């Protein structure tokens, strides 16, 4: 059949051979819906124009103004926000979460994103949005195994991810450095130095990213952690967290196979009907995976399902683990975590299409935007009308311990945190606009450090009110060590 005059003998349209796209063709191209409208200035503009655009945004919000926080102007009650969130959680597990939050101001901070989200929403914004982690605190960075088997150091919790103002991530991370430093016995002066180091690294890395090609930015991996003692210890622990180790830790022998231990409420085997529902959800989960990952999953057969408590902020949501084996026997285990994904705490305060989408998909897309390499089994599914995220459980995963964030180690770790966050924001936003806004001086660095100290004090006051609510039986708290 003849191809016609508009085609070459190879079948390639003649209009694309030895020529270029016309202006009408360029204008008619539309980016995928998820990425539409993501930039404050057209990303087709020159780097210089985008730098200038960011610089001009200082008229809207000066860099020194990032220091401002006045808790007396608050129009919401922290305890009431916590109680509202609890209404959407599993009632029997709420006392465990409340007890974990009651251990320290930093524990309270980690288990309670909603209060800070409400506070951040009241502050002026520079007008630059990125894909934020949403819960960027020092314990949510760590090591995990990439698809190629190498250990990666990056943010490892994206439950709250959403398109939102870039500064929200930095404010939360900076405050966590102060609270973690105080918990470890560091002085506020040391914690301030850590925030300054974090901010300076974030700012200078964005300047570097603004000079890179887009492909170079998206390939960039953080290497600093291999030089520092603190983050090296995290990587060393991650090496030991293998599926075989998890198998010994969470399961017991049952004939020629294994099943989950019974250690309620931390780990509890579920009924046969619930197990069947969880396993049925894997059918839709498979469709969210690449063909390569589907091929890997096809080798494994599920043998047991359990309910598991994890973390602090996630306590009170549905969280299942599935034990699977490939081949004969138990020498090739795979643990999948099927974790409920609820709406981001920031959703009420931003206009984002992510609020209406499947919330497991929101987490997965946000994580893939942020990270260079993600868990190859990362996907999503639905179960009994709820949205879920699916990923590997404890595959070479490890995070920093609180007692490691003392002295110079806090500053060293803060530097790595700044680099990791800059990389994520550069991948999901426009590094030139951010670099133009932040500039080359340390004005914003100092403002962020001031805010972190002030807001850490605010968090401590909220924590004391939270403890008072427990004493007054307004909030029920159980055993923090569960």
Q: What is the DSSP string of 354-388?
A: GGTS-HHHHHHHHHHHH-SS--TT-EEEEETTEEE
Q: In this structure, are 278 and 379 located in the same domain?
A: yes
Domains held by the chain: number: 2
* 177 and 295 within one domain: no
Structure confidence at residue 35 (pLDDT):
53
- pLDDT-based confidence at residue 355 (cuts at 50, 70, 90): confident
Q: Is 258 contained in some domain?
A: yes
Evaluate whether residue 206 is within a structural domain. yes
The domain boundary, picked from 358, 392, 426, lies at 392
Domain co-membership, 369 together with 462? no
Instruction: Determine, yes or no, domain membership for 17.
Output: no
pLDDT tens sequence across 380-389 = 999 999 999 9
> Would the pLDDT of 28 be above 90?
no
Range of the domain at 188: 47-233+402-471
The pLDDT, as a whole number, for residue 141 is 85
Asked if 253 and 155 sit in the same domain, the reply is no
Same domain for 411 and 284, yes or no, is no
The verdict on 273 and 351 lying in the same domain is yes
Cis peptide before 400 (omega within 30 of 0): no
Q: Which residue has the higher pLDDT, 24 or 155?
A: 155
Statement to judge: residues 314 and 444 lie in one domain: no
Structure confidence at residue 245 (pLDDT): 86
Residue 289 has pLDDT above 50, yes or no: yes
Is 137 in the same domain as 273?
no
Query: Which of 143-157, 273-287, 288-302, 424-438 comes out lowest in average pLDDT?
Result: 143-157
For the chain, the first-to-last Cα distance in angstroms comes to 73
Q: What is the mean pLDDT of residues 394-404?
A: 64
pLDDT digits (tens, 9 = 90+) for 425-459: 999 999 999 999 999 999 999 999 999 999 999 99
Q: Tell me the average pLDDT of the chain.
A: 88
Inside any domain, residue 135:
yes
User: Are 205 and 110 in the same domain?
Assistant: yes
pTM of the entire structure? 0.89
Chain centre distance of CA 35: 19
Cα separation, 161 vs 344, whole angstroms: 7
Question: Is 424 contained in some domain?
Answer: yes
pLDDT band per the 50, 70, 90 thresholds, residue 396: very low
Q: For 145-179, b where at least 16 C-beta lie within 10 A, e where not — what string?
A: bbbeeebbbbbbbbbbbbbbbbbbbbbbbbbbbbb
Question: 164: which residues sit within 8 A by CB, 6+ positions away?
Answer: 129, 130, 132, 134, 346, 349, 350, 352
User: What integer pLDDT is reported at residue 68 of this predicted model?
Assistant: 97
Question: Does residue 78 or residue 31 have the better pLDDT?
Answer: 78
């Amino acid at each position: 059949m003849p191809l016609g005059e508009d085609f070459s003998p190879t079948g390639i349209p003649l209009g694309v051979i030895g020529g270029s796209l016309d202006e009408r063709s360029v204008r008619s191209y539309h980016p995928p819906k998820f990425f539409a409208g993501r930039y404050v200035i057209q990303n087709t503009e020159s780097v210089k124009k985008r730098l200038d655009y960011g610089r001009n945004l200082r008229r809207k919000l000066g860099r020194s103004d990032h220091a401002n926080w006045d808790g007396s102007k608050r129009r919401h009650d922290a305890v009431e926000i916590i109680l509202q969130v609890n209404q959407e959680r599993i009632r029997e597990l709420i006392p465990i979460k409340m007890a974990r939050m009651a251990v320290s101001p930093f524990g309270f901070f980690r288990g309670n994103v909603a209060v800070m989200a409400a506070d951040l929403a009241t502050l002026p914004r520079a007008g630059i949005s990125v894909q934020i982690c949403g819960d960027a605190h020092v314990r949510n960075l760590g090591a995990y195994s990439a698809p190629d088997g190498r250990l990666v150091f990056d943010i490892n919790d994206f439950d709250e991810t959403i398109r939102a103002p870039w500064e929200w991530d930095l404010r939360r991370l900076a405050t966590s450095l102060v609270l973690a430093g105080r918990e470890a016995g560091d002085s506020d002066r040391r914690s301030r130095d850590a925030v300054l180091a974090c901010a300076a690294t974030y700012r200078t890395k964005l300047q570097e990213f603004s000079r890179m090609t887009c492909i170079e930015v998206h390939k960039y991996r953080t290497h600093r952690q291999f030089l520092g003692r603190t983050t090296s210890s995290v990587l060393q622990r991650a090496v030991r967290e293998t599926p075989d180790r998890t198998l010994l830790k969470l399961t017991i022998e049952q004939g020629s196979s294994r099943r989950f231990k019974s250690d309620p409420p931390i780990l509890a085997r579920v009924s046969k009907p619930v197990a069947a529902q969880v396993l049925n959800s894997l059918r839709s989960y498979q469709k969210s995976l690449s063909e390569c990952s589907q091929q890997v999953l096809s080798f494994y057969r599920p043998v047991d399902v359990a309910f598991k408590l994890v973390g602090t902020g996630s306590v009170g949501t549905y969280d299942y683990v599935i034990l699977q084996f490939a081949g004969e026997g138990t020498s090739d285990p795979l643990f999948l975590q099927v974790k409920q994904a609820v709406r981001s705490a920031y959703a009420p305060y931003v206009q984002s299409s992510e609020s209406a989408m499947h919330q497991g998909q929101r987490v997965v897309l946000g994580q893939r935007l942020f990270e260079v390499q993600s868990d190859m089994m990362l996907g999503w599914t639905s179960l009994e009308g709820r949205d879920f995220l699916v990923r590997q459980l404890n595959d070479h995963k490890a995070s920093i311990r609180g007692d490691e964030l003392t002295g110079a180690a806090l500053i060293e770790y803060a530097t790595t945190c700044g680099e990791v966050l800059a990389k994520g924001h550069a991948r999901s936003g426009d590094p030139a606009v951010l670099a133009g806004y932040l500039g080359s001086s340390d004005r914003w660095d100092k403002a962020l450090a001031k805010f972190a100290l002030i807001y850490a004090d605010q968090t401590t006051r909220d924590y004391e009110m939270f403890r008072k609510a427990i004493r007054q039986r307004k909030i029920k708290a159980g055993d923090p060590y569960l």
